[in-house]
Structure 1
Amino acid sequence: MSSSAFQWLSLIGMIWLQAINGTNTDFPAYSSQLKQLLSMSQMQLNNLAFASDAGKLFGFFSGIASAYLPLWLVLMIGSTLGLIGYGNSVCWIIIVCYVVTIRNFSSDSQVAIGLTTSYQGLSAKIYTNIADVISRHNQARTFLFLNSILPFIVCLITVFLVTDIGVMRSKYIDVGFVVMFVITIVTGIYDVISSLQIVTSNISPLNNLIGILVTLFLPLLVSISLKIKELVEYWKTQTERIRVYHSSAEESTREKRSDNNEVKEGEDNIEIQELGMKDEIGVKLMARRIDFWLYFFVYPFGATLGLVFLNNLGQIAESRGCSTTSSLVSLSSSFGFFGRLMSAIMDYFSRSKYAISKSASMAALMAPTAMAFFLLLNKTHIALYTSTAIIGVCTGAFTSISVSTTTELFGSQNFAVNHNVVVANIPIGSFLFGYLAALVYHKEGHEHGKCMGMDCYRKTFLVWGTLCLFGTFLALILHAKTRKVSLQEIW
């Protein structure tokens, strides 16, 4: 297969990996049942949720491994860890997706990463649909089994796509991205519609699953169409070469062009090497910068709070008397998908001098998240669904933007290790914020460790909303500081 077509095929492989790599995002779909099955308290359930995120504390090992080991081996290590137990497999798989995407789409890495990362927002919906098809009873066991086996199977299928192609920017790259955006938007619309309760009640789980699988295979059209177009162009080129093959002047010109190309390639390599040296910022240097600490504390008050809310979504819905937890999980998953996709589209259309600051984008996402937490103080189901959708889209967009933010602030040379250091705050925040929610839940609870009513999470939502507003303030400080540095560099 030609390098350009394989380039897009590798992107599709990363999309599939991202789509099954959100094994911790489906936790709210079965957490209530697991709590009842194992006779757990809310505090114990929070500890279990923390354990599922705790692997990120050691995520930098996957970053180091990606720098010294073949990427296919890093992928298989991650999938094997997931097969045995949770074992931090998410960090290993996701870092492979990032590195492959950055290397194969070096000129458009932010757009490509945003595009692939968006599909991680579908994980909860995919797992929920498969679990509904397999069994609507004992879903806790079904989810745990799927979380273990499914990533391993998909990793085996996509392992041959985990390679550095080294292809230069194709003339079809923009067309490819536009087509991918159209396919992805169609996928998102289908997922949102199929998550609505009025639709799920009229569509069988099997038909719903078939629909989502079809949307996952649609991106193959980009790689296939590129391959066909390149074959047609190759055939035309070969026909023309045969016609003029005997012209000595043509051969002389061809040799001259070959020499010129070698010189240009050498110049390109020098520029790339110089760029790499410029981007070289290691963990020690990064930890000395105020930008890092501002960014490090912005993240837990934004994306981490959103993730903690989604982890507790099952208990939140149950306490408010909402019986459609699976619909809520699918809704948050679908809107999280759109949030991640939104950041990719913004990156694509703002690649010029009008590019939007990542820190400003984070502040713009955190403000509505804070408002959504305060909206949850309203006891209506509409408020619950609306807040879940807002938190889902903002958390998804924040998670996707954070990848580009790390490279924007600290360069791409040591991205694999640097970004895993940044996201180490997720398990810390998950434990602290989740523990706070569990304490309030336990205090307001009654018999059998259950809590029913608005008081179960009222204080929690007030604290989370206030913290999110404080995080918005920190993001604005980060934006002001980085903007000042950028203006000094320009002048």
Structure 2
Amino acid sequence: MSPNVLRWFSLVALLWLQSINGTNLSFPAYSSQLKEFLSISQFKLNYLSFASDAGKVLGFISGIAAVHLPLPLVLLAGGSLGFAGYGLQYLSIVKKMFTLSFYQIWGLSFLAGNSICWINTACYIVAIKSFPVNRQVAVGITASYQGLSGKIYTDIVHAFFYSSQREAASGYLLLNSLVPLVGCVVTAPMLMREAKATSYSSRDVKMGFIFLFAVTIATGIYAVATSLLPAPAVLVLVGIVLFLLAPLAIPFGVRLEEVMTCRRSQQKVYDFEAPFEEDEKEEEEEFDDEKAIIGVKEEVEWTKLWKKLDFWTYFGLYLFGPTVGLVFMNNLGQIAESRGCAATSSLVALSSSFGFFGRLLPSLLDYFLSRNKYMPSCPVSMAVSLVAMVASFLLLLIDSDVVLYISTAMIGVFSGALTSLSVTMTAELFGTKHFGVNHNIVVGSIPIGSFAFGLFAAKGYRDGAAFDGRFDGKCYGMYCFQTTLIFWAMLSSVAAVLAAVLYLRNRKFYSQKP
């Protein structure tokens, strides 16, 4: 298999991996049942959601491992950690094969959260190495597919585990343990060889990404439509699988073109050499021209990040921005329950589907508008997304199920966009040589925010339950999360200001980009 075909196969494998890697996105769908299984308070439930995010604190280890170990091994390590983390919880909580203390379950949730970092690191590095010129687009598309995870797991549960709420919760734990591991085992062989093409046609790459964008957009539309409209779960799942298989047309098409080119060259063997050399020279010039477009400010080793003011500004931006969106998703089950909305799984599927579009949007705009002087920089795009998130949180103060659906979709879109933009901005500000470690350090802000902001939400929820005079720890009413939503809106406003500061500090760098 030629390197050019292999890198497209690798990209398709990354799409599959990311589509099942967001195991934490399904947590809101079964958090209320988990709370009942374990007979725990809202505070302890918040600690469990924090544990999954806390696993990202050690995410930088996967970046270091990726430098010294083969990427397939890094991938399998991630799948194994998730299998152990969720699998042991399933055997203990559902099958009652042994008893685990709350702190042991917390540790397993930590392990499961850390597994996501290993798979993400392997995927990002393969995407960057396979498409160095179009790395922003390749990484953005692969990251967008992680937004589908909540939707995919919800559809599988609805199809095979939905006889009761209890069985549905057990289904999520079982799927979270098995599916990523199986995906890693299946796709690891595709990453064993170097997938970077030595030379390529710029036209072929452009057509490949255009087709991939078309498939991705169609996948997103299908995901949103089936989240809003009633349809048999099995048929919905079959449709998702077909859309995930569709990108395989690209490597097969590239291989077919190579075979046809080889045959034409054999027929014109005497006329082949000179034109080939000329075409190769043109391709190298195209490669150099495109490489100049996607520059980096500087290459920074992870040990020197703490000396950079840009890093601390960016760290704060991530802490008060994307992290707040994640905390909202973690509490979505309780927010819906407190407002009297029973369609938690539908909200999770909706936020997942719109999150998919949000993660895709920056890559789509970058690919088609990167040569346009009106294309906003990453900090500006992040500031706009954060302002929209502020509006979404404030909109949730209105007591309406329709508003709940609209705000959930908006937060899904803009949280997804922030996640995708952050991957690009890490590479722009601190380079690609140490990207695996650097980005995992930035993502390390998630557990800090998850704990602090989630704890604030749990306190407001508990105070609301006490106000109602309830002794079961449950809160019903708009006031359960009213103060929390205002607090989250304020944090997102701070993040928007930090994004503006980051742009002002680096406006010279961004102004030089075409």
TM-score, L = length of structure 1:
0.91
Query: Cα deviations across residues 62-115 of structure 1 (Å, max 9, x unaligned)?
Result: 000001111011111111111111521100000000000000000100011111
> Given the alignment of the two structures, is residue 227 of structure 1 paired with residue 262 of structure 2, yes or no?
no
Which residue is 1:471 aligned to? 495
Shift of 1:466: 1.1
Question: CA deviation digits over 1:161-191, x for unaligned, max 9?
Answer: 1143221343300000100111111100000
CA distance in 2, matches of 1:207, 1:278: 48
Paired with 2:360 and 2:177, the residues of 1 have a C-alpha distance of: 27
Cα offset, 1:284, TM superposition: 3.1
2:100 match: none
1:195 maps to what in 2?
A: 227
Q: Which amino acid aligns with 1:68?
A: H
Deviations 1:300-331 (A, max 9, x none): 21110001001100010000000111110000
Alignment correspondent of 1:54: 54
Whether 1:217 aligns to 2:233 is: no
- Structure 2 residue ranges without an equivalent (≥5): 86-108
CA–CA distance in structure 2, aligned partners of residues 257 and 349 of structure 1: 30
1:486 Cα deviation (Å)?
5.0
Alignment of 1:14-413 (within 5 A): 14-85=14-85, 86=109, 87=111, 88-136=114-162, 137=164, 138-162=167-191, 163-167=193-197, 168-171=199-202, 172-196=204-228, 199-200=229-230, 203-241=231-269, 244=270, 279-352=298-371, 354=373, 355-413=375-433
Q: Secondary structure at the match of 1:379?
A: coil
Provide closer, same or farther for how the CA distance between residues 423 and 227 of structure 1 changes in structure 2, counting only shifts above 3 A: same
Cα deviation, 1:228-285, whole Å, max 9, x if unaligned, reads 22211211112222xx4xxxxx79x779969x989x99xx99xx9xx99984311233
3-state SS of 1:25 partner: helix
Change (3 A) 1:278 1:372: closer
Q: Could you tell me whether the CA contact under 8 Å between 2:394 and 2:485 is conserved in 1?
A: yes
Distance in 2 (alpha carbons) for counterparts of 1:310 and 1:383: 16
1:461 maps onto 2:485 in alignment: yes
State how far apart, in whole Å, the 2-side matches of 1:194 and 1:26 are.
17
What does residue 504 of structure 2 align with?
480
CA gap 1:185/1:278 in 2 versus in 1, 3 angstroms: closer
C-alpha distance in structure 2 between counterparts of 1:279 and 1:13, whole Å: 30
CA RMSD in angstroms, aligned pairs only: 2.4
Partner residue in 1 for 2:95 = none
Give the distance between the partners of 1:429 and 1:315, measured in 2 at CA: 18
SS at match of 1:107: coil
State the alpha-carbon separation in 1 of the partners of residues 295 and 332 from structure 2: 43
- Whole-angstrom CA distance in 2 between matches of 1:255 and 1:353: 32
Q: CA separation in 1, counterparts of 2:339 and 2:460?
A: 15
For residues 79 and 470 of structure 1, what CA distance do their matches in structure 2 show?
A: 36
Could you tell me whether the CA contact under 8 Å between 2:296 and 2:429 is conserved in 1?
A: no
1:4 alignment partner in structure 2: 4
Kept in 2: contact 1:350–1:356 (CA 8 A):
no
8 Å CA contact 1:319, 1:451 repeated in 2: yes
Q: Within 2, Cα distance between the matches of 1:442 and 1:466? A: 21
Measured in 2, the distance between the counterparts of 1:49 and 1:173 equals: 41
Report the secondary structure of 1:12's partner residue: helix
Structure 2: which amino acid aligns with 1:151? P
Mapped contact 2:383–2:500 kept (Cα < 8 A): yes
Cα-to-partner distance string for 1:351-395 (whole Å, 9 max, x where unaligned): 326343111111010001011101110010111011101100000
Q: Kindly provide the amino acid, as one letter, of the partner of residue 264 in structure 2.
A: K
Amino acid at match of 1:31: S
SS at match of 2:147: helix
The SS at the match of 2:25 is: coil
Maintained 8 Å contact 1:127/1:146: yes
Residue of structure 2 equivalent to 1:452 = 476
What is the rounded CA distance, in whole Å, between the counterparts of 2:312 and 2:200 in structure 1? 35
**Letter aligned with residue 389 of structure 1:** A
Secondary structure (helix, strand or coil) at the match of 2:134 reads helix
Amino acid at match of 2:138: A
Asked if the contact 1:192–1:331 (Cα under 8 Å) also holds between the matched residues in 2, the reply is: yes
CA distance in structure 1 between the aligned counterparts of 2:276 and 2:458, rounded to whole angstroms:
73
TM-score (norm 2): 0.87
Q: Tell me how far apart the structure 2 counterparts of residues 298 and 350 of structure 1 sit (CA, whole Å).
A: 25
Shift in Å, 1:299: 0.8
Distance in 2 between the 1:279 and 1:476 partners?
20
Q: Is the 8 A contact 1:319 1:452 kept in 2?
A: yes
Separation in structure 1 between the aligned mates of residue 352 and residue 502 of structure 2, nearest angstrom: 29
Counterpart Cα distance in 1 of 2:210 and 2:393: 35
CA-CA distance at 1:485 after TM superposition: 5.2
Q: Is contact 2:297–2:430 with CA below 8 Å preserved after alignment?
A: no
Q: Distance in 2 between matches of 1:278 and 1:452?
A: 50
Deviation at 1:206, TM superposition (A): 0.9
